[in-house]
Chains A and B, each alone.
Chain A
């Protein structure tokens, strides 16, 4: 084995820390004297800068960051760690995971400690962390309002106009395909349930609702069916592609213009810059097409919050850090600049860090002004306790619908059946 000197030193250090951690693991850490030590699980890129800034100014509360894999993986680890009794003090959790975590007694109710943070956030955003109750389960960090990104240069080349309604969108797709079979307007991805959920939100869908002491589950409400039928029609007509996103092929399509548009969310520029850096400056952003002309609604795709765990022995310190990170102007500026997220805090949305457009969209100076307008129109949404089941069923049933050529509304019906069935199995009260 190759061993550099550096690696040798590393190994010695590690052996020492192995011994120390063995000792530390057996004892419990209470941190009575000396600084309070908090552990924080997160996946946002460069968030260590925010943590470092806090540690520099707050020597009595030391936050140790541990970068985890994002999305559903961190939820699984939180659940198992909580069951074993050693979860972190703070964790970055997406909004749709909150009910699952609350239901498993992972997150603490911090209403008494964080109540005054409410004024910093819009109503729809704050509702996602209260789950419609009086409790507060997390501090919102970022939001993901959806908008449309499109290749302005290719639109010009093919003589297309930016669609403002979904009917226009369908027509644009057809116009493009009539001119060339080498390009699609966009793709429908059966692998990204959050994307579909955001589109459904825009149409007015409400998959879960709390009705007194019971859940009301309507994954197959008319709004969702409308969205499914619309996209199913486009896929059947072969005017949009049917391949999943975030694959090498999709990345290549963004690069070489095979796909002209991407219904995405506010964090889109970061992904585009990472996957298609050479197309910088050729994209533009517009609001999502609407279902009725003149309307002004959008949905949310992604967005995360900072939760404090129930088992944390330093709840007050943890809430202090979480609130600072998500509302303090200095912190949110770092979040925007370094982690490239769109802050949920209203002041930060109009703050100095968002005065200039993202580098990738330097050709659109009013990018963030337009984005803020769009963000204000984001529909609220109540997430249920088994979002994972719904999402997994989405992936399986829509993929099958695409390969079998069956209607997309059937896939939505499958999602409804699976969600209700799973909740019933586990004993949740379901309102009829």
Chain B
């Protein structure tokens, strides 16, 4: 269903009124407090650095000075940033279609009649989202590490090979799997609720006319879902460009993931591990800009389909 297209009927809505501004004030105020001001401070930080004199141990030997674009230059000169970015693009190219495809599939299946175990499936597919990340390292450690993995145990019992799921070649897919497992439920619910908003009369008549469920899905539901699909894609893209917690959970388990495996991990390392907040700020401005360009570029590309199409 189109999102924001509606006919202008003039009248009060067209007149200038303060009501929308008043309604938006709490959101805007909170946004300024929790997003804009911190972002501004982060940008400010990205232009500063620490300068120490001598040994740096005495009182006041450490001052913050203006650094210009030095942090940006250092960030861009770091080869791990580029390799991390390329890795993330590959990761996104694999994850986004698979995850959204599966989410769409499950949402459509949950929306049709005569599918068994709907309630069970719905809660089951939602559950990964509910598992706290604090035990993710433990959880995936048990499931992936060869000594404890039930996969290895089963293959061993069947006489098959013992895969190393966390080796240099396979760890990439291990990370994708974690993200897929954790995210498909979330996106499925979003698409499912959007499907629920479609009035059933639309396809009741098609059903009566003899359309199969597959055709109804393909010809009616998916086109109506397009705006939700597009925006879900955008948000998933943004989330995958910022992938951080999935590789972080695997990092203590294997030698195959460095602390700069993705750009966000580099930012986290700078901010929290080596306590170099200035470099972290500069790198995140770069990452945010790239994400902005990519996501709004994508939106522009599909704009007509997302917001302009009429039924």
**A residues in contact (CB < 8 Å) with B:** 72-73, 75-76, 79, 99-100, 102-105, 131, 133, 190-191, 210, 213-215, 242-244, 246-249, 252-253, 258, 385-386, 388-389, 392, 395-396, 398-400, 402-403, 422, 425-429
- Which A residues are CB-close (under 8 A) to B62? 103-105
Bitwise interface map of B from 246 to 258 toward A, beta carbon under 8 Å scored 1, else 0: 0000001111111
Given contact pairs A246-B252, A249-B145, A400-B258, A105 touches B59 in the complex (Cβ within 8 A): yes
How many chain-B residues does the 8 Å CB contact rule pick out?
37
The 8 Å CB contact of B260, one of A215, A243, A258, A396, is: A396
Q: List 16 A-B contacts (CB under 8 A).
A: A76-B272, A76-B275, A103-B57, A104-B62, A210-B55, A213-B54, A243-B254, A247-B252, A248-B142, A258-B147, A388-B275, A395-B258, A396-B259, A403-B255, A426-B56, A427-B52
Asked if A249 and B148 sit within 8 Å, CB to CB, the answer is yes
Interface centre among A79, A103, A213 (most CB of B within 10 A): A103
Q: How far is the CB of B33 from the nearest CB of chain A, in Å?
A: 16
Secondary structure class of chain B's binding surface, majority of residues: loop
Q: How far is the CB of A414 from the nearest CB of chain B, in Å?
A: 12
**B residues in contact (CB < 8 Å) with A:** 49-57, 59-62, 74, 138, 141-142, 145-148, 168, 252-260, 269, 272-276
- Which A residues are CB-close (under 8 A) to B142? 248
Asked if B274 and A249 sit within 8 Å, CB to CB, the answer is no
Q: How far is the CB of B69 from the nearest CB of chain A, in Å?
A: 15
- Which B residues are CB-close (under 8 A) to A428? 52, 54-56
Asked if B55 and A244 sit within 8 Å, CB to CB, the answer is no
Query: Considering the complex of A and B, which 9 residue pairs feature the smallest CB-CB distances, nearest first?
Result: A249-B145, A399-B255, A249-B147, A248-B141, A427-B52, A427-B51, A396-B258, A388-B274, A103-B56
Given contact pairs A248-B142, A252-B147, A403-B168, A392 touches B252 in the complex (Cβ within 8 A): no
Asked if A102 and B255 sit within 8 Å, CB to CB, the answer is no
- Which A residues are CB-close (under 8 A) to B275? 75-76, 79, 100, 388
Given contact pairs A248-B138, A248-B145, A403 touches B273 in the complex (Cβ within 8 A): no
CB nearest to A390 among chain B residues: B274
Asked if A214 and B54 sit within 8 Å, CB to CB, the answer is yes
4 other A-B residue contacts (CB within 8 Å) besides A72-B273, A249-B253, A399-B256: A392-B274, A403-B256, A427-B51, A428-B52
User: Please, how many angstroms separate the alpha-carbon atoms of A246 and B137 in the complex?
Assistant: 11
Interface centre among B145, B255, B258, B259 (most CB of A within 10 A): B255
